[in-house]
Structure 1
Amino acid sequence: MKRPPSLQFNDRAVILSPAGKIDGYVVRDAAAVLDSWGLCPEISENALGDIGRFSGSVAQRLSDLQKAFDDPEVRLVFCSRGGYGTVHLLGKLDFSGIKRNPKWVVGYSDITLLHAALQTYGIASLHGPMAQHFSDEGAEDIAVRHTKSILAGQPVKYRIPVGEKNSHLNRKGEATGRLFGGNLSVFCGLLGSKYARIPNGGILFIEDIGEVPYRVDRMIHQLKLAGIFRRISGLIVGQFTGYEEDNQMYSPLSESIREAVSEYDFPLCFNFPVGHVKLNFPLIMGGIAALRIEEDFISLIQ
């Protein structure tokens, strides 16, 4: 797995919108943060478009992304937001340019599709905050600072205190493997495609927003039936937000996940700071990760 080169002063960064539409001020705020890092940000031609729920037609969104992938001078492809629509582009993208000149691709949520596709071509990428987060929280936000640090070549070193919420569901242990996954519903949508490569002994992480518990339960069992839990060495459950517990289910959402994987012995943790939340810590997709889960802390190093 190739890790793209660390960003340097005056490197070019392209902000684009491969899925949903976004307000212009949000993108301009994000560009200002990238500029403060010493980069040269530019906003792609169709990044601020508006066609229904999308930032542009399939051809427009594809054009922006393909140009950024192909341009050897572009060092960072920064996705403005997720939403829905990246799936329209996967079968049409040519990855030969980014294979020759690997560059960082940053985003999460619907951008899970790009991360998975890049991993099939041996290129690591960054699951991390996007333009709205940069705009709302600013350059001094901890997740933004972690993003800057990783893109500059610093290692990922997280030591997360275990809080009271769902701590009883954690399963202690250590695991080392290639990190993969991302948004649960988006990742499940890739199963059966050539982009759903499951690394043997990999560490899976999942997060989601707005999915009611029975749908999450169905997707967890979909992963189970696909044999994914038999092949991983660790499972990180991030933040599941924007839902209400369902009293018609046997168990609350987190407990239902724990029950679904109870027959396996891999280390397991809940409430890791990744997802549609302010504490959305960046993670290197496709990078080797060392996960350690103890009674009072969770550590992850890449």
Structure 2
Amino acid sequence: MKRPPSLQFNDRAVILSPAGKIDGYVVQDAAAVLDSWGLRPKISENALCDAGRFSGSVAQRLSDLQKAFDDPDVKLIFCSRGGYGTAHLLGKLNFSGIRRNPKWVVGYSDITLLHAALQTYGIASLHGPMAQHFSDEGAEDIAVRYTKSILAGQPVKYGIPVGEKSSLLNREGEATGRLFGGNLSVFCGVLGSKYARIPNGGILFIEDIGEVPYRVDRMIHQLKFAGIFKRISGLIVGQFTGYEEDNQMYSPLLESIREAVSEYDFPLCFNFPVGHVKLNFPLIMGEIAALRIEEEFISFIQ
């Protein structure tokens, strides 16, 4: 797995929108943060287009991403937002340019598809906050500062206290393996395809937003039926937000996840600070991670 080079002063960063449309001021705010890091931010030609729910036609979005892949001067591809639409691009993208010159791709949610594809081609990428977060929270936000630090070459090292609710669900232990996964519904959408590279002994992490609990339960069982849980060394359950508990389910959402994997002995933690939340800590996809889950503390290192 190739890790893209650490960012240097005056490196070119491109902000683009491979999926949903976004307000211009949000992108401008994100560009200002990247500029404050000493980078040269550029907003792609079609990043602010409006094509219904998408930020431009398939051709426009594909053109922006392909140009960023192929331009050796570009060192950072910063996705403005997720939403939906990245799937339109995967089968049309040529990855030869980014394979020759690996560069950081940053994003989450629908950008899970790009992370999965890049792992297929042996390139690490960053699951982390996007333009809306940068605009809302600013350069001093902890997740933004962690993003800057990682892109500059600093190691990922998180120490996270375990909350009272999580302590009842977590399964203690240690795991080491390549990190994969991301948004649960998006990741399940590529299972069985060439873009679903499942590393033996890997650490899977999942998060989602606005999903009905029974659909989350079904997707967890989809992973189970695909044999994913037999191959992993650890499971990180991030934030599941924007859902309502279903009183027809046999148990609440997080408890149903724990029950679905109860037959396995890998370490398991819940409510990890990653997902559609303010505390969306960046994680390097495809790289080796060390996870330790204790009664009152979680350690995550890359």
TM range (shorter): over 0.9
Deviation at 1:128, TM superposition (A): 0.1
> How far apart are the structure 1 equivalents of 2:13 and 2:241?
30
TM-score (norm 1): 1.00
SS in 2 for 1:28: helix
Which runs of at least 4 in structure 1 moved beyond 2 Å after TM superposition?
none
SS in 2 for 1:222: helix
Pairing 1:36-185 to 2, within 5 Å after superposition: 36-185=36-185
> How far apart are the structure 1 equivalents of 2:202 and 2:286?
9
> How far apart are the structure 1 equivalents of 2:261 and 2:241?
21
Deviation at 1:40, TM superposition (A): 0.2
Deviation at 1:193, TM superposition (A): 0.7
Deviation at 1:192, TM superposition (A): 1.2
Paired positions, count: 302
User: What is the identity percentage for the equivalent residue pairs of Structure 1 and Structure 2?
Assistant: 92
Asked if the contact 1:166/1:254 (under 8 Å) is kept, the reply is: no
1:239-276: CA deviation from partner (whole Å, max 9, x where unpaired): 00000111100000000000000000000000000000
Deviation at 1:290, TM superposition (A): 0.2
> How far apart are the structure 1 equivalents of 2:165 and 2:42?
42
SS in 1 for 2:81: coil
SS in 2 for 1:176: strand
Gaps of 5+ in 1: none
1:222-247: CA deviation from partner (whole Å, max 9, x where unpaired): 00000000000000000000001111
SS in 2 for 1:246: coil
> How far apart are the structure 2 equivalents of 1:167 and 1:280?
20
Deviation at 1:107, TM superposition (A): 0.0
1:154-190: CA deviation from partner (whole Å, max 9, x where unpaired): 0000000001123211000000000000000000000
1:6-52: CA deviation from partner (whole Å, max 9, x where unpaired): 00000000000000000000000000000000000000000000000
> How far apart are the structure 1 equivalents of 2:166 and 2:176?
23
Gaps of 5+ in 2: none
> How far apart are the structure 1 equivalents of 2:88 and 2:299?
36
1:104-152: CA deviation from partner (whole Å, max 9, x where unpaired): 0000000000000000000000000000000000000000000000000
SS in 1 for 2:176: strand
1:197-225: CA deviation from partner (whole Å, max 9, x where unpaired): 10000000000000010000000000000
